[in-house]
A and B are shown apart, each in its own frame.
Chain A
Amino acid sequence: MNKFDQIAESEEFKELKRSKNRFIWPIAILFFIYYLAFPLMAGYAKPLMSHFLFGNITFGYLYGLTFYFVAWALAGIYVVKAKSFDKKVEEITEKYFEKGAS
């Protein structure tokens, strides 16, 4: 078994995979629902979407604009979180390649 297979089979890597999945999927799925709710509400909840919240800004516009900020924020969170995953990958590979394969 070469080192590559060892890493793929290792507990550390499986744990990393699990924690990555736990991070990615809930966000991806919740965001997807939050996003699809938007056109559905525009179709089925017209009074709410056309409701003027303050001055002449409707709920619908605010809801739409939140997507920009939420998308940027989530992207930022992903990048920060991905760095910590990188560190773990680094640790695992260091461990398996410590006798200098590279």
Chain B
Amino acid sequence: MNLTYFLFFICIVVCTLIITYWAAKRSGTTSHFYVAAGSLSGLQNGMAIAGDYISAASFLGIIGTIALSGYDGFLYSIGFLVSYLIVLFLIAEPVHHLGKYSLGDVICSRFPNKNIRIVMGFGAFIISILYMIPQLVAAGLLIRLLLDIDYSVSVLIIGGLMTMYVVFGGMIATSWVQIIKTVVLMSGTFLLSLSVFSRFDWDVHRLITKVTEESVLGTSFFYPGHLFTSPWEVVSLQLALILGTAGLPHILIRLYTVSNRHEVRRSLMTSMGIIGFFYIMTLVLGLGTVALVGSTVLYASDPTGNLAAPLLANEIGGDFLLAFISAIAFTTIMAVVSGLVISATTAIAHDIYHHVFKKGNASEKEQLRVAQLAALGVGFISTMFALGLENMNVTFLVSLTFIVSASSNFPVLFLTIYWKRFNQSGVITGMICGLIASLTLLILGPQIMDPTHGWIRREAILPLNNPGIIAIPIGFLAAIIGTLFGQKQSEEQYAKFYLKAETNVTTRREH
């Protein structure tokens, strides 16, 4: 391993450990552990949301997809920002007002019931773990590639670090790791984008002309249709993206780390600014990679295109910039997986242990200890899975989380907040059917069933890679049908609930 890389990595590891040490001294309560005691400012939280959200799959994958598939890669990248509009308009403030630590809190503030807690906790846990495993596998492969360390060693390092941040530093350490990640990621990509433009004397047309010359696709690089064969595939994917974000537990729990609704809005404005700017830059970097590296070279070094950003960095700034970009990718993964560990931990320790096993009566000290143990367990389990899945293609699990979240968490959350008639049976049927439908449809699809390289070697029954377009309506329908068969809730109760969701009057005035 060469010295430049080593210095960058040590620098990041030392910085984040100092933060964890500092956070550990401050996090004495469960409120500190789960939500940093609501102490973040809107600006800080916005940066942390962006840090939580932009995964390595985006940073490396989207740039590569844009470089290899042209327009369709760009099409793919749009949904990531747009989904925040749904969060801001429909979900954010009610979630902030109704919950304390988890999504289970939100649903249970309207339907206080043990079974609902279990289902919500289970859903959040599954989504977080499913998202974490591919991140860890990708991290291991990336670090092996860039630093030439053994796969299992790199997975162990990352798994160990993320567990340490969460167990000792809780949400405070996680938030600051995410904020640092956002700063490093944004400055790195901005620097790269500027270098790309400067290579073409700041002339966009020259850049585009060069892209047309260098890409194997020629002018058709700018036409749709190179990645997605069927339009319904794209619609399905975009639907899962736009609705899935509004149900992702690790994103929504970040709405509790600020103290009031003004800060919630400020957080989302900040994160939308950062995320939007980031994805516009991925377009520039994707084009830059084609123009400066060439699509043949890119394809030759990695057919999935994941090496686009590192190759571009190497072309522009040599070894030093490449080391910097690798360090950014590493930080990106750390920030995302720590956020996921926190949300899986909240599901186990807060929803299941505290509310279901202890019926809400666990003492403060006990809750904190269980939370730390749960974090340790979550870190351990996901690291073990990641170690075992080295040679499996698990990238599809990333899109799976969005589908699962869009077809189980989102319908239930949405209907709880906005539908007067909604009831407990609706929550249960919606969550369970959404979860089962999305998993089953995925297994029947070409991600798992493929005659040459699938987990099940046969022709896929369902031709869609992203079954969101079927799974999401199933989630909604199941929730609605379950409601119609269940008991009716009084309208008066909903009026009160809605008042709290919209204005937070109760907690502000009567508690």
Residues of A within 8 A of B (CB): 2-5, 7-9, 13, 16-17, 20, 24, 27-28, 31-32, 35-36, 38-40, 42-44, 46, 49-50, 55-58, 60-61, 64-65, 67-68, 71-72, 74-76, 78-79, 82, 86, 89, 93, 97, 101-102
Are the CB atoms of B225 and A46 closer together than 8 Å?
Answer: yes
Closest-by-CB residue of A relative to B205 is: A55
> B387 contacts the other chain (Cβ, under 8 Å)?
no
- Which residues on B sit within 8 Å (CB–CB) of A102? 508-509
> B114 contacts the other chain (Cβ, under 8 Å)?
no
- Which residues on B sit within 8 Å (CB–CB) of A60? 71, 222-224
Are the CB atoms of B74 and A64 closer together than 8 Å?
Answer: yes
- Which residues on A sit within 8 Å (CB–CB) of B509? 3-4, 93, 97, 101-102
* A48 CB to nearest chain B CB (Å): 10
Given A39-B235, A56-B205, A93-B505, A27 contacting B89 (CB threshold 8 A): yes
- Which residues on A sit within 8 Å (CB–CB) of B510? 2-4, 101
Given A4-B496, A56-B212, A58-B222, A31 contacting B75 (CB threshold 8 A): no
- Which residues on A sit within 8 Å (CB–CB) of B205? 55-56
Q: Which of A49, A72, A101 contacts B273 (CB 8 A)?
A: A72
Are the CB atoms of A49 and B495 closer together than 8 Å?
Answer: no
* A1 CB to nearest chain B CB (Å): 11
Distance A35 CA – B505 CA, assembled complex (angstroms)? 35
- Which residues on B sit within 8 Å (CB–CB) of A78? 88-89, 265
Q: Which of B88, B212, B224, B502 contacts A42 (CB 8 A)?
A: B224
Distance A5 CA – B495 CA, assembled complex (angstroms)? 9
- Which residues on A sit within 8 Å (CB–CB) of B261? 82, 86
Are the CB atoms of B85 and A38 closer together than 8 Å?
Answer: no
Distance A44 CA – B224 CA, assembled complex (angstroms)? 10
- Which residues on B sit within 8 Å (CB–CB) of A89? 502-503, 505
Closest-by-CB residue of A relative to B222 is: A58
Chain B 66-96 near chain A by CB (<8 Å), digits 1 or 0? 0000011011001001101110111001000
Are the CB atoms of B265 and A36 closer together than 8 Å?
Answer: no
- Which residues on B sit within 8 Å (CB–CB) of A49? 71, 223-224
State the main secondary structure of chain B at its contact with A.
Answer: helix
Count how many chain B residues have C-beta atoms less than 8 Å from C-beta atoms of the other chain: 55
> B215 contacts the other chain (Cβ, under 8 Å)?
no
Closest-by-CB residue of A relative to B276 is: A68
- Which residues on A sit within 8 Å (CB–CB) of B272? 71-72, 75
> B130 contacts the other chain (Cβ, under 8 Å)?
no
> B230 contacts the other chain (Cβ, under 8 Å)?
yes
Q: Sort A-B residue pairs by CB-CB distance and give the 7 closest, nearest first.
A: A43-B231, A39-B234, A42-B224, A50-B223, A8-B499, A8-B495, A89-B503
Distance A72 CA – B271 CA, assembled complex (angstroms)? 11
Are the CB atoms of A46 and B269 closer together than 8 Å?
Answer: no
> B498 contacts the other chain (Cβ, under 8 Å)?
yes
- Which residues on B sit within 8 Å (CB–CB) of A101? 509-510
* A10 CB to nearest chain B CB (Å): 10
Further 8 A-B residue pairs, CB within 8 A, beyond A4-B510, A64-B74, A89-B502: A16-B502, A40-B231, A42-B71, A43-B230, A67-B82, A75-B88, A75-B269, A101-B510
- Which residues on B sit within 8 Å (CB–CB) of A17? 498, 502
